[in-house]
Chain A
């Protein structure tokens, strides 16, 4: 899928200079990000830290007490499992509580994507591109370590990290497979739920990783969106009729989000279900009209929702059209 070209303007030039961004990025953002100046200011600030309580290992109240004892201040969020860390004198990734698997350092946005999948304790769930395992361990938690999760990860180097995190968090109900998403259809398995947190250009996490500001390019958007369009079709082929597929990325590029989901309408009978948080997904990009129901997908913005930049689509797959599967 080709990166859409948006015309540069005097405003894009001004903002690019003021906030040290490439001008082509700003000219894009001007077309789909609300309140852009505030957005750019936020990207230059320290991101909000969140932790997800791992109820497989500890009761929430007990963990909150332990955090207080360590002088880690936190507050509740819209997810009952996620705390925002408001002040801490110790690195939250090196406490004994972290090592014991009592919590996982995870952005609120990615937890909301997992919660959108509506898993239960009997489901067979596929987690595509699973490493490092934040979403996998949360799925296991929501399933109370019952049912089965197939976590697939094609990169052998990333497998061990996934394995370690599952072990640290006390996850039992998960198989790890060293395959790519395109291979899963060869196993003749059909899943109740699929989480596809697709590899992306990651411009939604520039706050956390400032290198992304420099490495972000049109080529990366082209490469990622092409790969994502294939992965989402691979996912739709192995879901049970009526099953749920949650597609998410930490990118704000419509080519990696709405356009990828829009491409599914050609081959599959799908409906997009609404999600109770975030800004509406785009159903029009420049002059391009997309399926109207894409408004039901959601965008999370750092300056509005206090999370990473994120996209979530909750897709009910009723079946395939023609010979897609």
Chain B
């Protein structure tokens, strides 16, 4: 392999940081009994959720990945695109913004969000927080970083930076 890939079980302190991340997204109880492995890939520590019966394969040579990537673990947990689906499906308290149809199209092209395109927000975020960007049908489109506190988020200027969006899948394919 021309890229360094290694899968391993998580250390205790990594499990603690991961659980803190789950707690932040209000999804601790869903992930409580799930199994995880860590993939060291380039400089990233990627976290994968795996079915329990897959654990026996962790140490097989030339394993590239297992299960589904749910995020990257540095000092804090940074969620992946698949993780957003679990949050939207199972969490009752998370930070989000709902945007209009026109902004949905632009956001999927990697654009930042204008405050005027935001229809609704959760009421629990500050400046530089991570928020899930949803369309009107409450489907996750990606992740944003707030530039302002909650009550200023609908102002007529760019108020949310695009951290990543579903268009990533298409851009990577090309």
Contacts and interface: CB of A to CB of B under 8 A. Distances in A.
A93 B167 CA distance: 11
A177 B51 contact: no
A210 interface: no
Contacts of B57: 148, 150, 175
Given A96-B135, A167-B81, A187 B60 contact: yes
B53 to A, nearest CB: 6
A156 B51 contact: no
Nearest to B82: A167
Contacts of B3: 156
A177 B104 contact: no
B54 A148 contact: yes
B1 A178 contact: yes
A176 interface: yes
Interface in A119-174: 145-148, 150, 156, 159-161, 163-164, 166-168, 170-174
B13 interface: no
Q: B-side binding surface: helix, strand, loop or mixed? A: mixed
A172 B50 contact: yes
Contacts of B80: 167
A146 B52 CA distance: 10
B130 interface: no
B173 A164 contact: yes
B56 to A, nearest CB: 9
Size class of the contact patch on chain B: 35 or more
Contacts of B172: 160-161, 164
Interface string B47-69: 00111011001001111111111
Interface in A94-119: 94, 96, 99-100
A179 interface: yes
B100 to A, nearest CB: 14
B64 A148 contact: no
B68 A167 contact: yes
Nearest to A152: B62
Interface string A163-207: 110111011111111110001000100000000000000000000
B68 A100 contact: no
A168 B135 contact: no
Contacts of B139: 96, 100
B2 interface: yes
Contacts of A163: 64-65
B2 A156 contact: yes
Given A100-B139, A177-B60, A177-B62, A148 B51 contact: yes
A167 B86 CA distance: 13
A287 to B, nearest CB: 45
Interface of B: 1-3, 5, 49-51, 53-54, 57, 60-69, 80-82, 85, 104, 108, 135, 139, 141, 166-167, 169-170, 172-173
23 contacts: A93-B170, A99-B169, A99-B170, A156-B1, A156-B2, A156-B3, A159-B64, A163-B65, A167-B81, A168-B81, A170-B68, A170-B85, A172-B67, A173-B67, A174-B66, A175-B66, A176-B66, A177-B63, A177-B64, A178-B5, A178-B64, A179-B62, A187-B61
